[in-house]
């Protein structure tokens, strides 16, 4: 299963409401067969611009990151589900590379050039 990272901006809420949204999201991932590796709170900040969603206008939000493994089939359904959640302002899923591409590291290229110059 590929590794993904879900970045979410939630409405500014009290701690119990925020915990409920995160619990709902993680349970949704579990129901769809995902394996959650970590959940990280990235803090609450002022949004770069006001976001209007579900008949409310938000200027502050909580940023969260969830690292998980899942089948590629569930990603679009997960995003649709999160778009309908009234407490989630912006969901974004990013696929993470588990390995670095070989031969593209600038440090290795420099070492090879140094050996050739000697």
Q: What is the pLDDT of residues 28-83, one digit of tens each?
A: 999 999 999 999 999 999 999 998 888 888 899 999 999 999 999 999 999 999 99
Domain that holds residue 44: 3-95
Q: Is residue 117 part of a domain?
A: no
Q: How many CB atoms lie within 10 A of CB 92?
A: 12
**Considering the domain boundaries, does residue 88 fall inside one?**
yes
pLDDT score of 115 more than 90: no
| Phi–psi pair at 75, nearest 5 degrees | -65, -45
In a domain, 104, yes or no: no
Helix (H, G, I), strand (E, B) or coil at 16: helix
What is the tally of structural domains in the chain?
1
| 79 belongs to a structural domain | yes
Q: Is residue 112 part of a domain?
A: no
* Neighbouring residues of 94: CB distance < 8 A, sequence distance ≥ 6: 4, 5, 7
Tell me the whole-structure pTM to 2 decimals: 0.77
- 109 lies in a domain? no
Residue 102 lies in a domain: no
Question: Is 24 domain-assigned?
Answer: yes
**Average predicted confidence (pLDDT) for the chain:** 86
56-69 β-sheet, strand order: 35-53, 56-69, 3-11, 88-96
């Amino acid at each position: 299963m590929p590794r993904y990272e879900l970045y979410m901006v939630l409405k500014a809420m009290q701690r119990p409401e925020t915990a409920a949204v995160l619990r709902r999201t993680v349970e949704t991932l579990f129901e769809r067969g995902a394996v959650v590796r970590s959940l990280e709170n990235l803090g609450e900040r002022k949004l770069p611009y006001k976001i209007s969603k579900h008949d409310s206008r938000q200027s502050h939000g909580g940023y969260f990151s969830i690292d998980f493994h899942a089948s590629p089939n569930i990603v679009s359904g997960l995003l649709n589900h999160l778009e309908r959640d009234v407490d989630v302002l912006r969901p974004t899923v990013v696929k993470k590379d588990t390995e670095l591409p070989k031969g593209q590291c600038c440090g290795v290229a420099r070492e090879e050039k140094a050996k050739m110059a000697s």
